[in-house]
Amino acid sequence: MVTMTIESLVSELRSFVGITRKRSIGDMLGYFPDISDKVIADFGEDAAVIDNGDEVLLLAADGIWSVLMDADPEWAGYCAVLVNVHDIAAMGGTPIAMVDVLSVNSPEVTDAVLRGVKRGIEKFGVPIVGGHLHPDTPYSALDVAILGKARKDGVILSSTAEPGDSVVVAVDLDGTVHPSFRINFDSTSHKDRETLARQISSMRALGERKLVTAGKDISNPGMLGTLGMLLETSGVGAVVDLDAIPVPESLNLVDWMKMYPGMGFVVTTRDPSEVVDVFGKHGLSAARIGRVIEERRLEVVKGEERAVLFDFERDRVTGIN
Amino acid sequence: MVTMTIESLVSELRSFVGITRKRSIGDMLGYFPDISDKVIADFGEDAAVIDNGDEVLLLAADGIWSVLMDADPEWAGYCAVLVNVHDIAAMGGTPIAMVDVLSVNSPEVTDAVLRGVKRGIEKFGVPIVGGHLHPDTPYSALDVAILGKARKDGVILSSTAEPGDSVVVAVDLDGTVHPSFRINFDSTSHKDRETLARQISSMRALGERKLVTAGKDISNPGMLGTLGMLLETSGVGAVVDLDAIPVPESLNLVDWMKMYPGMGFVVTTRDPSEVVDVFGKHGLSAARIGRVIEERRLEVVKGEERAVLFDFERDRVTGIN
């Protein structure tokens, strides 16, 4: 096995496309004027939070990367459901329904994408209730939006981590790298609905018990990239001990850090041992991997080695803060 | 001026791409299992209707046709907001917030699309609160989803027209054909927000007063294509008097029937004169243009001439019924 230096990890992650393609998000915000007093939180969150009396409504959208669509349309369709359900779960919410916009250029691709979507619907128990079909596009694409809700006092934001908090991650290590898309780790497609529902509900349990200060689901930027987005949005930094990160047996750390895990969350908390315990009871492998600091940078540590992965004073992940 | 025969109108509309591209929607429904008892209405409606206590939540998504995106990205961005706001309005609802998925291949297109989106947000007063950006696709596309709500007893469906009802249409005739997209009639972009808000709220007023039995906003399939979708979904037919249709002075009927109007609705009602009056008070030109019949076909009449535009026993518009 090749020994990883911390510099090589930092350099690989800094140029990892899963992270770099988030960079232009912040530039768009000027086009989206803030014109509603019902919106509690919006960009930078996994889902927007809208005031609706005692509850909040959660609204999110996710598109499937064309690279994934080309590699495996059925897996892409399944992932469209997976990532949207996670966007609501990460906020401490319950998913209600989805709508989709499907653009297709062949009946075979349509069928494959929709078979994947159907499998996702059945696996996670969230219906698609409408949408739009472009039957004649020169490309294939699938965009899905999701509606959810949460108790107003149980909602988990990305923007509220505070210096002194612990950083805890939770993942399902029981899976394999997807054969047709090597930066996806599939821990869900062979699990039963009850197991997945228990894993997914871990964040709602944490939110309702007010055990976390912030949280996010681990998406395409990988575990540290997702943490970077959370820290940037919160206006803070963190120090992470790489040796504390739970890693599947079959993978090395660098590959794992570029992986979209089937089921994974990163949270900040004042009560890491209780949070690790709650995640564990919901069937996820959780660990305290670091702490939030005031300095706006994400620093990684491995034994005696240290390196800065992101310096938010200079770098940007999304540019949202 | 060329004299139109009713046969030429029927034949032009039957092959009109705005209508024909809706044909494959019905084939998709088998992939979307109905797994939630909270969903009151879904496919075939402008927005899905979800039970939420005393109110209903409305969820819809619309994609912008790539042909429009290529012709004029700024207008496409504006239309993405316009059509989504109409999807909620048509249900008798109030729009709350939107999310978008933007896929772009050039900074110029991005800027143009987003300028259009921003203009739509400001015009219709509905914020975009989140979404997803693909900064690196080989094509440009914009999908938007919208959340709205309505009083449970004021919601207007597409699927509830009944034989004996009158068919009423309402449109804003004060506009012009869009210079860069000749099947869009632009009645909104030069109007002030208050005028548009009054027009948009006409359907909510009708819903809350229970004056209509069904309704829909007039979209890409045009006025008769949209009516066809409503009738098909309701399992009924209609006879329409072409001479009763309000037409802008600058247009002939055939072109007008292929047009996406900036602001237009088609409803069925037992009280056509009251409905025409309500639309008029909201700044729209409305007229009773026909009646709903039990026979599942859309028949058009002009003086002594008659023709069948759609025979739902044989043809399909969307295949949803």
A298–chain B nearest CA distance, Å: 24
pLDDT tens for B210-251 read 999 999 999 989 999 999 999 999 999 999 999 999 999 999
Q: What span, in angstroms and rounded, lies between the C-alpha atoms of A220 and A83?
A: 10
State the pLDDT at residue B2. Answer: 52
Please report whether residue A40 resides in a domain: no
B239 touches chain A (CB under 8 A): no
Does one domain contain both B180 and B299? yes
B58–chain A nearest CA distance, Å: 10
Residue B157 scores a pLDDT above 80: yes
Does one domain contain both A305 and A190? yes
State the pLDDT at residue B3. Answer: 63
Does one domain contain both B73 and B214? no
Please report whether residue B122 resides in a domain: yes
| B116 vs A contacts (CB less than 8 Å) | none
CATH number, domain of A101, equals: 3.30.1330.10
CATH number, domain of B213, equals: 3.90.650.10
Across the interface, of B21, B33, B65, the residue whose CB is closest to A121 is: B33
Please report whether residue B35 resides in a domain: no
Count of structural domains within chain A? 2
B172–chain A nearest CA distance, Å: 25
B135 touches chain A (CB under 8 A): yes
pLDDT tens for B108-156 read 999 999 999 999 999 999 999 998 888 778 888 899 999 999 999 999 9
Does one domain contain both A104 and A123? yes
- Quote the ipTM score: 0.91
pLDDT tens for A101-127 read 998 888 899 999 999 999 999 999 999
Please report whether residue A197 resides in a domain: yes
| A61 vs B contacts (CB less than 8 Å) | 99-101, 130-132, 143, 145
Q: Enumerate residues 12 to 31 of chain B having a beta carbon within 8 A of any beta carbon in chain A.
A: 21, 23-25, 28, 31
Please report whether residue A121 resides in a domain: yes
A306 touches chain B (CB under 8 A): no
- Helices A107-124 and A193-200 cross at an angle (nearest 10°) of 70
Across the interface, of B96, B132, B134, the residue whose CB is closest to A38 is: B96
Across the interface, of A43, A114, A149, the residue whose CB is closest to B31 is: A114
Q: What span, in angstroms and rounded, lies between the C-alpha atoms of B65 and B142?
A: 9
Does one domain contain both B116 and B205? no
Q: Enumerate residues 61 to 80 of chain B having a beta carbon within 8 A of any beta carbon in chain A.
A: 61-63, 65-66
Please report whether residue B36 resides in a domain: no
The DSSP letter of residue B243 is G
Query: CA–CA distance from B37 to each of A151, A276, B8, B51, B146 (Å)?
Result: 21, 34, 46, 9, 21
Q: What span, in angstroms and rounded, lies between the C-alpha atoms of A5 and A144?
A: 39
A99 touches chain B (CB under 8 A): yes
pLDDT tens for B70-99 read 899 999 999 999 999 999 999 999 999 999
| A52 vs B contacts (CB less than 8 Å) | 149
Smallest CA–CA distance from B25 into chain A, residue = A133
Mean pLDDT for chain A overall: 93
Please report whether residue A69 resides in a domain: yes
Query: CA–CA distance from A6 to each of A10, A240, A310, B247 (Å)?
Result: 6, 12, 13, 70
Does one domain contain both A104 and A219? no
Q: What span, in angstroms and rounded, lies between the C-alpha atoms of B223 and B170?
A: 10
Strand partners, B176: B186
Strand partners, A92: none
* Domain boundaries, position B10: 6-22+157-311
B57 touches chain A (CB under 8 A): yes
